[in-house]
Structure 1
Amino acid sequence: MAFQDLADAVDAGKRHRDRLIAVYIGILAVILAVAGVGGGNATKDATARNIEAANTWAFFQAKNIRRHEIRLMISEFEVLLATQPGLPEAARAMIDERIAKLRADEARYTSEPETGEGTKELSARAKELEKQRDLAMSKDPYFDYGQAMLQIAIVLASVAIITGGSALLFLSGLLSALGTVLTLNGFFLFYHVPYIG
């Protein structure tokens, strides 16, 4: 009878331990899901900011080409005025008026704060988008490594249920802590780990 009570107590202890490990595995699965979402969002953000930056640089280039064309036209009109001193006063006035309008257009292509579509504003916007892209790209590897650590921790904890081994459970705990820290770092970038992000 005493032996049976002892065996029942051992079985109850093992069942209790296994339940706690199962809850631990469930918590790890939730953290793993959060890491997966964070990594997916970081990848999407990096891709979206890269596309926006490329589009902004393309718009910048189109404006810059147009600005360069205007500068060439101004230059041509100035050469015309310098090389044709005998132009009638009315023609000179028309050319001067055209040069003034072209200079105004050039200034607008250079900087247009009201619309944010001057080359100066477009360049600043594209550089900001590139910073956001780079930030998202630097976050992504932390999620990847965090997910790997959490997946290994789940496997080790599952094996610990079967084998009853405490060493595997301890190793699982270490890896889960590391995976959780890496996941949190993916969200907040508390620190930079060389060769990761």
Structure 2
Amino acid sequence: MAEELTELQEHAEHAKENPELAPVSLTMAIVAVLVAVATLLGHRAHTEEVVLQALASDRWAYYQSQNIRRHVDELFLDLSSVQTTTNAAALAKLRDKYSQEATRYRDNRDETEAEARKLEAEVATERNRADRFDLSEVFLEIGLVITSITLLTGRKVYWGMGAAFAAVGVVLACTAWLIH
């Protein structure tokens, strides 16, 4: 970013010498700002993707822990059914407790799985959005470089080409917000 600002300052000084290139320098300044915005939005989208991925992983870990607990409770029920004891009432009370726990874990399983899958879908959406911002940044950077060739050659065709690439970059950045 600092390099781009230094480059823009040099181009501004160059434009003072040749007023015909002032619009080119202005275009470059605008595109440089758009590059910075696209970069920032891309970084934020990637950060959101990472946060959502961590949340999804946490939900899947919770889902697994519920299944493990349910299996342990069911194992206790199986083992206690063949257990002989002198205190049948206490064993029946324990069996009832573990049966309720196993049922609770079984009932919560579908809800937890749905939450994890929903978070995974949000991760995919955010990844697509971040990729779109990254592609936008590439087109804006290319537009900035091609536009700067105008200052070196004095040929305005490069200005138009650079502006076209920048326009594609802007459209891509705008479409990133449409991804749901």
TM-score (normalised: structure 1): 0.74
TM alignment of 1:99-178, pairs within 5 A: 99-111=95-107, 118-178=108-168
Tell me, in whole angstroms, the C-alpha distance in 1 between the residues paired with 2:66 and 2:147: 60
- Give the structure 1 partner of residue 49 of structure 2: 46
Equivalent residues of 2:80, 2:95 under 8 A apart: yes
Cα deviation code 1:135-155 (max 9, x no counterpart): 111122212221111111111
Cα deviation code 1:92-149 (max 9, x no counterpart): 33333222211111122233xxxxxx33332222112111111111122212221111
Cα deviation code 1:26-57 (max 9, x no counterpart): 11111111110111012111111112211221
Letter aligned with residue 107 of structure 1: T
- Give the structure 2 partner of residue 32 of structure 1: 35
Letter aligned with residue 166 of structure 2: S
- Give the structure 2 partner of residue 22 of structure 1: 25
Equivalent residues of 2:49, 2:127 under 8 A apart: yes
Equivalent residues of 1:150, 1:175 under 8 A apart: yes
Tell me, in whole angstroms, the C-alpha distance in 2 between the residues paired with 1:24 and 1:170: 10
State whether structure 2 residue 82 is matched by structure 1 residue 92: no
Tell me, in whole angstroms, the C-alpha distance in 1 between the residues paired with 2:99 and 2:164: 67
Equivalent residues of 1:38, 1:186 under 8 A apart: no
Equivalent residues of 2:24, 2:147 under 8 A apart: yes
Equivalent residues of 1:38, 1:187 under 8 A apart: no
Divergent runs of 4+, >4 A: none
Letter aligned with residue 181 of structure 1: V
Tell me, in whole angstroms, the C-alpha distance in 1 between the residues paired with 2:92 and 2:53: 43
Residue 120 of structure 2 aligns to a residue whose secondary structure is helix
Unaligned runs of 5+ in 2: 1-15
Equivalent residues of 1:143, 1:182 under 8 A apart: yes
Cα deviation code 1:53-73 (max 9, x no counterpart): 112211221221011010111
Larger radius of gyration: 1
- Give the structure 2 partner of residue 189 of structure 1: 179
Residue 60 of structure 2 aligns to a residue whose secondary structure is helix
Shift of the alpha carbon at 1:160?
0.9
The structure 2 residue matched to 1:64, chosen from 64, 67, 72, is: 67
CA RMSD of aligned residues (A): 2.3
Equivalent residues of 2:125, 2:179 under 8 A apart: no
